Amino acid sequence: MQKRKLGKSNLEVSAIGLGCMGMSFGYGPAKDKNEMMSLIRAAVERGITFFDTAEVYGPFTNEELVGEALAPFREQVVIATKFGFKPASTGDARWSELDSRPEHIKEVADASLKRLRTDVIDLFYQHRVDPGVPIEDVAGAVKELLQQGKVKHFGLSEAGVQTIRRAHAVQPLTALQNEYSLWFRDPEEEVLPTLEELGIGFVPYSPLGRGFLTGKINENTTFDSSDFRNILPRFTPEARKTNQALVDLLGEIAKRKKATPAQIALAWLLAQKPWIVPIPGTTKLHRLEENIGAAAIELTADDLREIESAASKITVQGARYPEHIEQKTGR
């Protein structure tokens, strides 16, 4: 597995990471813990060194899973986790209240360290921008954690350019984690140029469009009642039917490259910038191996032009989030 550096920080990770959320949360019932521990360890054996979790996934159970699975390999892996929510008593903390008060950030760091079975968090992201707390205060709190040796690197998730600049001025950012894929390209306009200017790495989440770009989901696919995709406008049957055009495009190029649509989608992201590290999630070993295979696929300038030309003619249907959730993404 090739390595990449996230921005100017010299934080070196595998070119493709592993998003662990879906093992515990978000896409139907939590999976079997022992099976997921085996999968995480299989990822390490295959060269993945970058693992993404958050306190809110579960809540808490995903950090515990990742911590236990990676404990034997702690020195050779990079663990990223996130703060910024006030977990709900109902158990689903995903869209509970935001809370990035400095004292709360420090409490979360201590609790995450315990769950992750480690004495340092490699990369600590603010999960969502909190309009109630100046980003300078957030950056200052993480700076203190860095000075105390509890955190190595600071990141933001779903932040816009003004927030990025203001945070970076207080404590340099190592990475930004925003959604980015062939079917959600908003970061290209302002975010990517800003990251390049400031020397900040980019970690796209949902790089396979929450599974849609794999080609394994169509208008007739049904999801478990607890699956987050049920409430996403982009996943209505009508939207899926329209958006199939994008998967068909990936499929055509995949055939020529003797690859899969998922591998082309990931290879396309890797080809955008040398400091981009996607974190596809999976709960299946064969999917993990398929995703890893994307790192070896070379897309030529002609391939990229062809994808760009064809994709520009396709209008993706459906918003990525319902409005009340989209409002929690920062600017």
Going by the DSSP 8-state scheme, the letter that residue 256 receives in this structure is H
Nearest CA among 68, 34, 35 for reference residue 51: 68
Residue type, 116: L
Contact between 218 and 304 under an 8 Å Cβ cutoff? The reply is no
Distances in whole angstroms, Cα of residue 124 to Cα of each of 34, 42, 97, 156, 166: 26, 24, 19, 8, 17
Contact between 124 and 151 under an 8 Å Cβ cutoff? The reply is yes
Contact between 183 and 208 under an 8 Å Cβ cutoff? The reply is no
Tokens of 53: 């979790």
Q: What is the DSSP string of 29-43?
A: SPPPHHHHHHHHHHH
Alpha helix (H) residue ranges in the chain? 33-45, 61-70, 102-115, 135-147, 161-170, 191-198, 237-257, 261-272, 285-293, 301-311, 323-326
Catalytic residue among 27, 57, 180, 321: 57
Q: Calculate the dihedral angle through the C-alpha atoms of 253, 254, 257, 262, rounding to the nearest 10 degrees.
A: 130
Contact between 177 and 157 under an 8 Å Cβ cutoff? The reply is yes
Catalytic residue flag (residue 57): yes
C-alpha–C-alpha distance, residues 236 and 199, integer Å: 38
Residue 35 CB partners (closer than 8 Å, separation 6+): 283
Residues annotated as catalytic (active site), given as ranges: 57
